[in-house]
Amino acid sequence: MKYVVLIYNNPTAWQHPMFLQSGPLSEQERAERTSEFQTLLKELTETGELVDSAALGDPAHSIALRMREGVLAATDGPFADVKEHLAGYFVLDCATPERALELARRFPDVRAGGVELRPVLDPSELRM
């Protein structure tokens, strides 16, 4: 089954990798987080569980589109008064939900921002 790992972080220091941008880190902490992430990516690649991933641009450069009562409105970002914004995603193909959770917990962003794990629905499961 496929899962998406959504990475959230504070946009005040928008620069990837986001897990290195949250607060002051010692050189040792930076090296440890980078090593953890590289180890995780290597494992995901070797096991074939990594399907896709992307880092997202600064939310200040995004545009939100909404249609209300037949009128389309486009609003420059950021759009919400929140501390964390979506910074990137990883799509994983895991044999079990437990494996997906095990992998999601290992993203360094879990300590600095937030990580959300969500199953990806098969198109056949969608009601039309």
Q: Give residue 50's pLDDT.
A: 98
Please state, rounded to an integer, the average pLDDT across all residues of the chain.
Answer: 90
Instruction: Say how many CA atoms lie within 13 Å of 35 toward its Cβ.
Output: 6
- Taking the C-alpha atoms of residue 1 and residue 24, their distance in angstroms, rounded to an integer, is 37
> At 57, phi and psi to the nearest 5?
-70, 170
Q: Give residue 44's pLDDT.
A: 98
38-81: pLDDT as tens digits: 999 999 999 999 999 999 998 888 888 889 899 998 888 666 66
Q: Which range, of 16-25, 54-63, 106-115, averages the lowest pLDDT?
A: 16-25
- Taking the C-alpha atoms of residue 93 and residue 122, their distance in angstroms, rounded to an integer, is 12
